[in-house]
Chains A and B, each alone.
Chain A
């Protein structure tokens, strides 16, 4: 069974440019998470989806970040415009509806903003 797929793995852009990250969760997982991880820190939750619905986006900087999960499967996280401080690893994870047996994480996208 395939794990959580993310693309691209690496992205380098200049500040003020837009960027998008894509995530395909494990089949059958209703819950999808986007995290941001800065160097030396643990992952920080940005947004959580239950099927198509964003049920927790309190940590998402809404002035420049947006996310969508069409049809309750794949998800896209967008930053527009990117700032220097957005350089980080963006992780996608999925899980069954509850948190039992944990989340399954993708490899992440390493974003560098120059």
Chain B
């Protein structure tokens, strides 16, 4: 399983763009990168998933360089409600043997 490393915490202000980087140096060829968001007293929520280059949805963008050894979750114009813990997962999601492994995540605090 590819190990991931994320910052423990980040601070930002409303309206700013936030970029959270995840390192995964031993990512395998078939591995995808998946990000989750978790609010207090709730289960994690799927945000975005990608394999290479750039993926964008209505919530975030995911940037993956050519060597795929890292990835960056970009949250545009954050608001107070984006205060949460963000998890980066790496694994082969294409088969039934996928075992999701969460680390400690990045605690993002958005200030007024």
Contact = CB atoms under 8 A, between A and B. Distances in A.
A binds B: yes
The secondary structure that dominates the B interface is loop
A28 to B, nearest CB: 16
B43 A45 contact: no
Contact of B96 (A42, A43, A98, A104): A98
Interface in A81-114: 91, 93, 97-108, 110
B100 A45 contact: yes
Interface residues on B, range: 20 to 34
Given A106-B43, A107-B41, A99 B34 contact: yes
B96 A50 contact: yes
A45 B97 CA distance: 13
A18 B100 CA distance: 28
A100 B46 CA distance: 10
Interface in B19-61: 32, 34, 36, 41-46, 49
A44 interface: yes
Contacts, number: 67
B102 interface: yes
Q: Which 10 A-B pairs have the closest CB atoms?
A: A105-B43, A99-B93, A102-B46, A42-B102, A99-B98, A43-B102, A91-B43, A105-B44, A42-B105, A42-B103
Given A42-B87, A100-B32, A100-B94, 19 more contacts: A31-B96, A42-B85, A42-B103, A43-B102, A48-B99, A50-B96, A55-B97, A98-B94, A99-B32, A99-B34, A100-B49, A102-B36, A102-B46, A102-B49, A103-B100, A104-B46, A105-B42, A107-B43, A108-B43
Interface of B: 32, 34, 36, 41-46, 49, 85, 87, 91-105
